[in-house]
Amino acid sequence: MSIKVSFLSILLSVLLNSSVGNLKLYSINGEEQNIEEGTQYMIMCYDTFCCHDCVIELISHCSKICSDNNDIQFVSLIKGADKMTMRNIESTLKQYFVGKDTPTIYYDLNPNKRKRIFNRYKISSFPALVVINKSGKHKYYSCKSLFNGKEFQDGISVKTIGKINSFLGL
């Protein structure tokens, strides 16, 4: 019985607060990229068929948080595909940053396709957000949770902003 309880508590812990060790980001060439310990990340999951206004709002909000907090980095994540497709998506993403610094762009290319971030969270609406806090835990915020609510700040649901800020310790 205690083995079942231990397994269930470990599984629940992994599902609710996965460690960064389970979260892998890659270069366009499939090389695993290091996530700096102690650095917090706001990772915008992006694809070209997302809401234009929502992308602008999320970029604005994340950029503001990162400019106010030097220990938080704003990066983008593109779904793994062939290089030409990923380059086309990257090119479209960069158009949102004309006249601004483009964040580092990573690719969801984990060789174990079940562990890819887009597959793990079944991301199908964009933009979405994965946030990593100082202790290395990460949480996923769907497009719906970011932009669905009654009250908004910077175009994002006030309720979700509160959850993100609390998770980051802001």
- pLDDT score, position 6: 44
How far is it, in rounded angstroms, from Cα 96 to Cα 99? 9
Tokens 């990340």: give the residue. 41
DSSP state string for 24-45: -EE-TTSPEEPPPTT-EEEEEE
Per-residue pLDDT tens, the chain, 170 aa: give them: 445 444 443 433 333 333 455 788 999 999 999 888 888 999 999 999 888 999 999 999 999 999 999 899 999 999 999 999 999 999 999 999 998 889 999 999 999 999 999 999 999 899 999 999 998 899 999 999 999 988 988 789 999 999 999 999 99
- pLDDT score, position 51: 87
Whole-model pTM: value is 0.84
106 half-sphere exposure, CB direction, 13 A CA radius: 26
- pLDDT score, position 57: 94
- pLDDT score, position 49: 86
3-state secondary structure of 73: strand
- pLDDT score, position 41: 95
